[in-house]
């Protein structure tokens, strides 16, 4: 009977999937962002600064979630010409709705808003994105969409029957206002990425940028916007893009400012000096002409021929030579860290050569994807035995952490960054794992600037403290986790279920998917 039930269920899923197929993508002319705005607040702030630094771009670390949120809000509020948003996840919570409300308000002022979102998340918010698309100044496109727009059964059925296509996701994150200011990094759009969640928040990082690099980020957005891997939402869900849908979205979003004003997060924003400096124009930037913006081909999974991981991943081909060229220090932050044999050997070789190689990743208790931890466990001992110093982030926030929402109960690492020789930094969406290398699209920025590197190093050293992370070492042949006050001989604070998932993943031949 059980076998029969499973067979019937499988046939039903296949039937549901067969009933759903993507329509032919409409023929669309290539579209591009307009030139940088010459009027408005962003032009007023960025234009003179660019003139004073010809050929250079200005960078600012956004390690503070409140500042990262405030910059996006502010830039949308003052944009005069264009707002381009590219994201993997856009949640319908307080900050997610506020950002949508600001984008809608910008469109009402005549700003051209383009939203490009991955469908692994967007499908569940189809009605909201379709409503926004009904606005005459907003266009929404979906990266690699599902044919079915609702229902778990059809969702699973499509994944089963079209796994190779749907397994390829857009992990890039960009926020570009007036082609004058851009934000690139690890943050999706939602409370847990901006220290606004009463539950677990992500430790994350972005780069705010002005100058010529903004135009490169904008060109990268255009490349994705015009790629055949995305569809206008009206093409996959034509009946949902209606004036009535737009009015429903307006009704949902119109009360969000009052919701924010009544929330504890409003107090956090008011108390944050970084936010206040941003709003009053007191933000300082690091200027340099030494930077590289790297963005994968939106069709990377379909590259033909004998394509190596290095050739398939533009981000890896940019980052790997810089890592191999390290002379004294190589400090990595990767929440999902599955280095594989090649990267493991590279890091061990560097450590043996006397380079200070350090890795900060999630502990099993802190990660939001226990299966990935199983892939990391395969290489943990080899790394440590080879001289690589390893820390794993704790799941709980330090009670004295600045400007996180009062009552936040936990933290999980989401930052993707590298510091090289106290002079170069890489920040982006790229995890050091097979999925980022070979399957998902990624992007990031490699910048050479000693002061910027020192700022990130200060943040890094803080996260390595015992209040935030456990140092993992080999003692008497066994792994040991220590924060300076307590010592553990197995993954600390991890539940039995998490241990089982990680153990099972470690055994299964699925590393290429992690």
Residue given tokens 């893009």 in the structure block: 241
User: Which of 173, 286, 373, 449 is an active site residue?
Assistant: 173
Strands (E), 343-393: 356-362, 389-393
Task: Let me know if 178 is a catalytic residue.
Answer: yes
Q: At 219, is the secondary structure helix, strand, or coil?
A: helix
Q: Of the residues 300, 414, 449, 468, which is catalytic?
A: 414
The strand pairing partners of 177, in sequence order, are 83, 181
Assess contact for 446 and 319: CB atoms under 8 A: yes
Residue 422: phi and psi, rounded to 5, are 55, 25
Structure tokens at 302: 């379909």
- Please identify which of the residues 84, 118, 296, 421 carries the catalytic annotation: 421
Q: Is position 468 annotated as part of the catalytic site?
A: no
Q: Give me the residues paired with residue 87 across strands.
A: 117
Which of 416, 433, 468, 491 does the annotation list as catalytic?
416
Active site residue 173: yes
Active site residue 171: yes
User: C-alpha dihedral over 270, 271, 272, 275, to 10 degrees?
Assistant: 20
| Residue recorded with tokens 């023929």 | 27
Whether 413 and 202 have beta carbons less than 8 Å apart is answered as yes
Q: Which of 125, 171, 286, 394 is catalytic?
A: 171
CB–CB of 256/101 below 8 Å? yes
| Region for residue 406 given its phi and psi (left: phi exceeds 0; alpha: psi -120 to 50; beta: otherwise) | beta
Residue of 178, 272, 274, 296 with catalytic role: 178
Alpha helices in 53-198 (DSSP H): 65-78, 94-108, 119-122, 126-133, 152-161, 163-166
Spatial separation of the C-alpha atoms in residues 167 and 164, rounded to whole Å: 5
Among candidate residues 298, 161, 172, the one with its CA nearest the CA of residue 229: 298
- Are 201 and 55 in contact by the 8 Å Cβ rule? The answer is no
Q: Is the dihedral of CA 326, 359, 371, 366 positive or negative?
A: negative
According to the 3-state scheme, what is the secondary structure of 479-508? EEEECCCCEECCCCCCCHHHHHHHHHHHHC
Residue in 491, 486, 461, 204 with CA at minimum distance from that of residue 373: 491
Name the residue among 68, 94, 122, 70 with its Cα closest to residue 199.
Answer: 94
Which residues form the catalytic set?
A: 171, 173, 178, 414, 416, 421
């Amino acid at each position: 009977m059980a076998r029969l039930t499973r067979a019937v269920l499988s046939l039903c899923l296949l039937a549901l999937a067969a009933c759903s197929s993507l329509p032919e993508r409409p023929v669309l002319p290539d579209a591009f962002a307009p030139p940088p705005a010459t009027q408005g607040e962003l032009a007023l702030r960025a234009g003179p600064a660019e003139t004073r630094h010809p050929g250079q771009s200005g960078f600012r670390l956004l390690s503070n979630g409140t500042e990262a949120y405030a910059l996006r809000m502010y830039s949308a509020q003052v944009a005069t010409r264009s707002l381009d948003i590219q994201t993997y996840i856009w949640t319908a919570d307080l900050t997610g709705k506020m950002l949508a409300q600001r984008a809608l308000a910008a469109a009402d002022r005549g700003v051209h808003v383009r939203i490009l979102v991955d469908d692994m998340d967007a499908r569940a918010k189809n009605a909201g994105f379709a409503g926004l698309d009904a606005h005459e100044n907003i266009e929404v496109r979906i990266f690699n969409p599902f044919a079915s727009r609702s229902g778990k059964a059809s969702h699973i059925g499509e994944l089963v029957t079209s796994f190779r296509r749907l397994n390829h996701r857009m992990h890039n994150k960009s926020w570009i206002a007036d082609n004058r200011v851009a934000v690139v990094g690890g943050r999706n759009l939602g409370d847990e990425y901006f220290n606004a969640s009463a539950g677990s928040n992500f430790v994350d990082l972005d780069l705010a940028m002005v100058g010529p690099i903004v135009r490169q980020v904008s060109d990268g957005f255009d490349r994705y916007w015009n790629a055949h891997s995305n569809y206008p939402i009206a093409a996959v869900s034509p009946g949902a893009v209606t004036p009535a849908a737009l009015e429903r979205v307006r009704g949902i979003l119109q009360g969000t400012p009052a919701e924010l004003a009544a929330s504890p997060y409003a107090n956090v924003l008011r108390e944050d000096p970084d936010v206040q400096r941003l709003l009053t124009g007191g933000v300082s930037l690091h200027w340099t002409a030494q930077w590289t913006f790297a963005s994968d081909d939106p069709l990377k999974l379909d590259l033909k021929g004998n394509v190596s991981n290095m050739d398939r991943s533009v981000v890896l081909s940019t980052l790997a030579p810089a890592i191999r060229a390290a002379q004294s220090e190589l400090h990595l932050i990767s929440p999902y860290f599955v280095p594989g044999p090649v990267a493991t050997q590279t890091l061990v070789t560097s450590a043996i050569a006397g380079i200070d190689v350090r890795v900060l990743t999630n502990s099993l208790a802190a990660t939001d994807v226990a299966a990935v931890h199983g892939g990391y466990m395969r290489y943990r001992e080899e790394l440590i035995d080879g001289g690589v110093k390893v820390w794993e982030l704790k799941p709980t926030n330090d009670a004295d952490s600045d400007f996180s929402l009062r009552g936040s109960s936990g933290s999980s690492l989401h930052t993707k960054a590298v510091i090289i020789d106290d002079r170069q930094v890489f920040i982006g969406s790229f995890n050091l794992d097979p999925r980022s290398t070979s399957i998902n699209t990624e992007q990031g920025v490699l910048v050479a600037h000693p002061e910027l590197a020192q700022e990130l190093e200060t943040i890094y050293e803080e996260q390595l403290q015992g209040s935030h992370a456990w140092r993992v070492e080999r003692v008497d042949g066994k792994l040991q986790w220590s924060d300076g006050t307590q010592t553990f001989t197995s993954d600390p604070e991890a539940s039995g279920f998490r241990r089982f998932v990680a153990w099972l993943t470690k055994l299964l031949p699925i590393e290429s998917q992690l």
